[in-house]
Structure 1
Amino acid sequence: MSLPGEDDFDAAADSFRRELLVHCYRMLGSFDEAEDLVQETMLRAWRARERFDPARASLRTWLYRIATNACLTALEGRARRALPSQLYAASEDPETPLVPDLEVPWLQPLPARHLLGSSADPQERSAELNGVRLALVAALQVLPPRQRAVLVLRDVLQFSAVEVAHQLSSTVAGVNSALQRARATIAHLRPEPEMVVEPDDPTERSVVQRYVEAFEAADVAALVALLSADVELEMPPVPLWYRGRADYGRFMNRVFAMRGDGWRMVATSANGQPALAAYCPDGGDRLALHTLQVLTVTRYEVSRNVVFADPTMLEAFGLAPVLVR
């Protein structure tokens, strides 16, 4: 794409804002920081607009170079964002106090409105959704920042090795070496089970609907029946997680004992995955927003549930704070 003229620079650059946000999110593991970095990218691009040469690179490639390097600068000296299962051993005590650790930079989810919609090209949409699944984004944070950048630019965004070398002021040999190391690390981490269903798959919708029905009925037995044997339940910012149907069920018994029944679940989406906003009884006819549950569905089961409770993060999803029965 060539730049049509200085007066049109903002419009031309702004057309890439959404995908740059997704890129920065993959790099940082934080929706909040990704928004800030996109703003910084646009500012840097505006200041350097006279140096943009469409004969050397497309505007998209040039903007990705600015965004990636802004992310690398932001990541210098920072602790990586993570999920509880990456930092601690699984708990076997369903009565462990639920004390949040706000000192840990927890991984954040990505609201669906920033991803390609159902009207987009099916292959492009599938590639983008699969490239932001929570487990993959969490695994990316384990990589050194430059390896992370190379893997995302090459394998997710499909830039050529020559383009990535230019974006990172490196060499093709350096890019290929970093890519090989990054792929080996990701393969070892196995961020997703092989049988994760495709987004919007009828099987996924059926499992999620049955999960909603069981949860709203406070039917722990029915809920557990929908889980895989090695299901994982995580709850950032609480540094606590459980593995397996039995512990998941014991924890849910605790939740319903503490909060009562009469919950309502509102379907949404995060990271290309089904998500549920959970509203708990709050006295009278009110239901208060409690958490956002992001599900991973494999075959006919839920294999992971990452439950986010940070109020600031919940605001990013535009969820109503209160529902009336």
Structure 2
Amino acid sequence: MSQRLGRVTRVSVLAERFDSKDAFLADAQRYRRELMAHCYRMTGSLHDAEDLVQETYLRAWKSYEGFQGRSSIRTWLYRIATNTCLTALDGRARRPLPSGLGAPSSDPTADIAEHHEITWLEPLPDSPREHPSDPSVIVASRDSVRLAFIAALQHLPPRQRAVLVMREVLQWKAAEVGEAIGASTAAVNSLLQRARAQLDEVQPSQDDDLAEPETPEAQELLAKYISAFETYDMDALVTLFTDDAIFEMPPFDGWYQGPTDIVALSKTHCPAEGPGDMRFIATTANGQPAAALYMLNRETGAHEAFQMHVLSVQSGGVSHVVAFHAGDGSFAKFGLPATL
């Protein structure tokens, strides 16, 4: 009887707080950013994550009258978002980076080929309003969207991916995860064990000690990186990379390792011809330093959106760069103009 009265009381409180489904939906918007990150971890796509968050809110709005208040609104939304992602991922191929396709590093002087038929991993713009009073929360949030982690998650089947994210990132109990995805606690623990084992095989160890984007070291290296490209100083560029640095640029399927090969790639295939052809805007993506590249269009005289370079910065230099093609209005998602 007391449990029933408690449940009725919680529902009554919710009814008083949200006098309509629209009022509930308006209040639930405060969780949009974290739900976006959750759906991004599940899918590896900003565009898909945006659609899935919209679907999550639509499903929540439609089923709100059945919400009994046994969990928080936030937990309830995460359950809906997770199952929405699992439905969307059914039968879909994973989103890789070129270095995750299983091929060896490429010859930087060989021809390069675009592969738009592959659904590539996409970058995630950082929130401009992360709470500065709790650095530990910021770091944990950034770690969970690092490119290396998101790329590694793509190797997991969707249910393993969901369990790992909910247990390791959201810190849910196994029983809570099981209730959310319709599995027993034993099944959740088994899925988590397999996911951890698979992740240990594919996640690179070189990204364990990345510098935070606001640290002096990261900012200095990003500034030098931008300057080397803008002045077309390849001798300066080669000194910025670690010995085993990786450079890749989806939708091209090749990846390149080592400072010499990276610079040779730039000299061979970059459309820039000299100083001034490239301009950059420093930003952040996936909790990492990033630089938006604008390439000179010689016909119009304008610098146009070209690539988003997301850097992994460590004590020895730049260890990894993913140069994402600036397509489908991706610069606008970062609050950046299409031309300079």
TM over 0.5: yes
Report the alpha carbon displacement of residue 311 of structure 1 after superposing the two structures with TM.
Answer: 1.4
Aligned residues: 321
Aligned to 1:171: 184
Question: Which runs of structure 2 are paired with 1:57-136 in the superposition (5 Å)?
Answer: 57-113=71-127, 117-119=130-132, 121-136=134-149
1:190 counterpart residue number = 203
**1:212-251 map, 5 Å:** 212-251=226-265
1:311 equivalent to 2:324? Answer no
Deviating more after overlay: 183-192 vs 242-251 = 183-192
Q: Secondary structure at the match of 2:253?
A: strand
Match of 2:7 in 1: none
Cα gap change, 1:96 to 1:118, in 2 (>3 Å)? farther
| Structure 1, unaligned runs of 5 or more | none
Does the 8 Å CA contact 1:268/1:276 hold for their aligned counterparts? yes
Instruction: State the AA in 1 paired with 2:279.
Output: R
Rg comparison, structure with higher value: 2
Per the TM alignment, residue 118 of structure 1 is displaced from its structure 2 partner at its CA by 5.0
Structure 2 counterpart of 1:278, from 293, 296, 318: 293
Note if 1:144 corresponds to 2:143. Answer: no
User: C-alpha distance in 2, partners of 1:225/1:278?
Assistant: 20
Moved more, 9-18 or 219-228: 9-18
TM-score, normalisation: structure 1: 0.93
Matched with 1:21 is 36
1:202 alignment partner in structure 2: 216
The answer to whether the Cα contact below 8 Å between 1:21 and 1:38 also exists between their aligned partners in 2 is yes
Shift in alpha-carbon separation, 1:84–1:157, aligned structure 2, 3 A? same
Q: Whole-Å Cα distance in 2 between the matches of residues 310 and 214 of structure 1?
A: 21
Alpha carbons of 1:17 and 1:110: their partners in 2 closer, same or farther (altered >3 Å)?
A: same
Name the aligned partner's letter for residue 293 of structure 2: A
Contact 2:213 2:284 in 1 (8 A): no
Residue identity over aligned pairs, in percent, reads 46
Select 2:305's aligned residue among 283, 289, 294: 289
1:321 has 2:334 as partner? no
Work out the CA distance in 1 between the residues paired with 2:218 and 2:146.
15
Give the partner amino acid of 1:286.
A
Which runs of 4 or more aligned residues in structure 1 lie more than 4 Å from their structure 2 counterparts after TM superposition?
Answer: 255-258
User: Which digits, 9 at most, give the CA deviation of each residue in 1:15-59, with x for residues without a partner?
Assistant: 2111111100000001001000001000100111011111x2111
